[in-house]
Amino acid sequence: MKRRDFLRTGIGASLLSGALPLFGGLESINGMPTTSSYDIAAVRGGNGADMFDRAIEAIGGMSKYVKPGQKVVVKPNIGWDAPPERAANTNPEVVARIVKRCKEAGASEVYVFDNTCNKWDRCYRNSGIEDAVKAEGGKMVPGNTESLYKEVDIPNGVSLKKAKVHKMILESDVFINVPVMKHHSSTRISLAMKNLMGVVWDRKFYHSNDLHQCIADFCTFKKPDLNIIDGYNMMTKNGPRGVSVADVTNLKALIASTDIVAADAAATKMFGLQPDEIGHIKIGHEMKLGNMNLEELSISKQKMA
């Protein structure tokens, strides 16, 4: 239904390029959906931006998530002072395309930020994300001082009962989470759930109070409306910062889902790991924050030429 409405109203010719595979007869394993969209979209083989267009199409199109006049916050991983090819941060092309599509869908503002690990302005600049976002009309917002964060209660959290959360997360209408697929020395891998550590101020609390539990606890407070896991470049070892480009493989993958646990479960398998091996994903599933059993979900799998 949604898709038909969407195509009929035809929000922008540019979006049609994203819709092309539906008509072009490219591989779409589960066949063409008619009325409902998929739980997860997985795309391989394209550049980051085009894979995003395919994926968002398969889960209902951008207009399903962003309505005209809404404020959108996009949270990529911009944690490190490293260039795009190191895959320590989300691919700037993916972030830029998301900003663009949000704008096309009528978003009044698109804000992008991260609470970085390295010096924030260097991260914003050297990741390539600042320039890419600004070029598409998005706004970079700092996340470097405590005054930008507001304390909230997390009543359903087990370890994490309170956290200082970035005001953008609290004040925006739509929250899009855009992690990069990375190995991670502490949590084994860093995906959508882990990326949300970048919207809180005090990460040390997580580290000293059962890291995996805290990561899952945060999702009881706020789940993103959309999770886009960028795997165009994947860091397979020495994460989350990486030492050199030798830690990176050009995977050309992207996973999208509204279910943060499901998205992480699918991406985990890209590492050759099982979702229940990753503490926070397992806890997230058990706390019913999402579904890590991929066999119970409908997955759109598309391969681009």
Partner 1 sequence: MNYKKLKKARVIISLLFFALTASLFLDIYERYANDTVHEILFLQFVPSLMKFISSLAIGAIGFLIIIAISAFVGRFYCSAICPLGILQDIFSWIAKKRSSKKFFYKKKRAYPILRYSLLGLSAVALIFSFSSIITLLDPYSNFGRIMTYLLRPILVVANNGIAALLQQVEVYSLHPVKLVMAPWFIFLLTLATFITIGYMSYKRGRLFCNTICPVGTFLGLFSKISFLKIQFDVDNCTKCGKCIGECKSECIDLKNFSVDHSRCVDCFNCLAVCEDSALKLSTPGSKTTTQGDKSRRNAIATGAALLIGQKVLADIKPSKDTSKLIEEKRDHPVAPPGALSIERFNDICTGCGLCVAACPTQVLQPAVMQYGLKGMMQPHMDYISSGYCNFDCRGCGQICPTGAILPISIEEKQITQLGKAVFVKENCVVYTDGTDCGACSEHCPTKAVNMVPYEGNLLIPEVDQSICIGCGACEHPCPLDAPYKAIYVNGNAVHQAAEKPKEEEQTTAPVEEDFPF
Distance in Å, CB of 255 to partner 1, minimum: 10
Alpha carbon distance 94, 208 (integer Å) = 33
Which residue, 8 or 204, has its beta carbon nearer to partner 1? 204
Stretch that binds partner 1, among 1-9, 94-102, 136-144, 222-230 (CB under 8 A): 136-144
Tell me how far CA of residue 58 lies from CA of 149, 209, 218, in angstroms. Answer: 35, 38, 28
Q: What residues from 162 to 221 belong to the interface with partner 1 (CB under 8 A)?
A: 184-188, 203-205, 207-213
Give yes or no for residue 102 binding partner 1 (CB under 8 A): no
Residues 2, 164, 222, 303: which binds partner 1 (CB under 8 A)? 303
Alpha carbon distance 179, 95 (integer Å) = 10
List residues bridging with 200 in a β-sheet: 165
Residues 142, 150, 152, 158: which binds partner 1 (CB under 8 A)? 142
Give yes or no for residue 30 binding partner 1 (CB under 8 A): no
Pairing of strands 149-153, 162-166: antiparallel
Alpha carbon distance 127, 96 (integer Å) = 12
Give yes or no for residue 247 binding partner 1 (CB under 8 A): yes
Distance in Å, CB of 142 to partner 1, minimum: 4
Which residue, 1 or 246, has its beta carbon nearer to partner 1? 246
Largest CA distance in the chain: 52
Alpha carbon distance 142, 58 (integer Å) = 32
String of contacts with partner 1 for each residue 255-294, x by CB under 8 A: ----------xx--xxxx----x-x--------------x
Residues 32, 68, 243, 286: which binds partner 1 (CB under 8 A)? 243
Which residue, 210 or 225, has its beta carbon nearer to partner 1? 210
Which long-range CB contacts under 8 A does 190-194 form with residues at least 24 apart?
Answer: 190/77, 190/239, 190/240, 191/229, 191/263, 191/264, 191/267, 191/268, 192/224, 192/227, 192/229, 192/260, 192/263, 192/264, 192/267, 193/218, 193/219, 193/260, 193/261, 193/264, 193/280, 193/281, 193/284, 194/280
C-alpha radius of gyration, the chain, whole number: 18
The amino acid at 202: D
Which residue, 42 or 132, has its beta carbon nearer to partner 1? 42
The answer to whether 2 touches 64, Cβ cutoff 8 Å, is yes
Distance in Å, CB of 11 to partner 1, minimum: 25
Give yes or no for residue 117 binding partner 1 (CB under 8 A): yes
Task: Give the count of residues interacting with partner 1 (CB under 8 A).
Answer: 62
Give yes or no for residue 139 binding partner 1 (CB under 8 A): yes
Residues lying near partner 1 in the complex (CB under 8 A) are found at 29, 42, 44-45, 81, 109, 117-119, 121-122, 126, 139-142, 144-145, 147-148, 184-188, 203-205, 207-213, 234, 236-241, 243-249, 251, 265-266, 269-272, 277, 279, 294, 299, 301, 303
